[in-house]
Chains A and B, each alone.
Chain A
Amino acid sequence: EIVLTQSPGTLSLSPGDRATLSCRASQSVSSPYLAWYQQKPGQAPRLLIYGTFSRATGLPDRFSGSGSGTDFTLTISRLEPEDFAVYYCHQYEISPGTFGQGTKVEVK
């Protein structure tokens, strides 16, 4: 299976800061098959990005996805108070689909 490793484990930032989250795959993942989710405590995950670059319906444009091959990035250009959460990357090119272990974005 494809192992996804996210870094850092925790990101301590302030509102207004730029957040850069990394997801590295153990083998190459085609761009159409990489997604990002946000999860807040007590809530189900929410799809943010699919196909590496495409924003889910209604997602603010401060969220952007990029990358290729084995290295992918989720960028939040200016953190809003509601963006502090855990973020997961997900590959769905090869079964079994796999998730990264998550990056927690916390208030500094």
Chain B
Amino acid sequence: EVQLVESGGGLVQPGRSLRLSCTASGFRFDYYAMHWVRQAPGKGLEWVSGISWNSDSIGYGDSVKGRFIVSRDNAKNSLYLQMNSLRAEDTALYYCAKSHRGGSDYLRAFDYWGQGTLVTVSS
């Protein structure tokens, strides 16, 4: 059974940093691109970042480019999101999601999602 478990969310002041983690199980983690998708309270979905299976191909949404850094550790079946210079508009539930198929690119649909970790940016 595929499982994605996010952690690391919480309350943080504007301008500070936070690191999210996602631990995966139930599939060959090192075969699939992985993603972060966020959802502000009461709003729709926003793709944050994606990373290919070997970290060679990485992408970011325009609103986080230059502030967030995605990485992965295939030996630990883990995905990370380093979030710097946080803003109030980064407040959201952050989901970890698995690509629906393998390959060298990160541009994929998402077939499994975690339950999310909530990040609140407020003073």
Contacts and interface: CB of A to CB of B under 8 A. Distances in A.
Contacts of A94: 107
Interface string B9-24: 0000000000000000
A47 B60 contact: no
Contacts of A37: 45, 110
21 contacts: A1-B62, A35-B109, A35-B110, A37-B45, A44-B114, A44-B115, A44-B116, A45-B45, A45-B110, A46-B113, A50-B111, A57-B111, A88-B45, A92-B107, A92-B108, A94-B107, A95-B107, A96-B47, A96-B61, A97-B47, A99-B47
A56 B109 CA distance: 11
Nearest to A34: B109
A11 to B, nearest CB: 16
Contacts of A47: 100, 109-112
Contacts of A50: 100, 109, 111
Given A47-B100, A96-B60, A101 B111 contact: no
Contacts of B61: 96
B95 A102 contact: no
Contacts of A97: 47, 50, 59, 107
B103 to A, nearest CB: 12
Nearest to A95: B59
B55 to A, nearest CB: 16
Interface of B: 37, 44-47, 50, 59-62, 95, 100, 106-116
B68 to A, nearest CB: 12
A51 B100 CA distance: 11
Given A45-B45, A50-B109, A96 B95 contact: no
A98 interface: yes
* Among all A-B residue pairs, the 9 with the closest Cβ atoms: A44-B113, A35-B109, A50-B109, A95-B59, A97-B47, A99-B45, A96-B61, A92-B107, A47-B111
A65 to B, nearest CB: 11
A83 interface: no
B62 A102 contact: no
Nearest to B107: A92
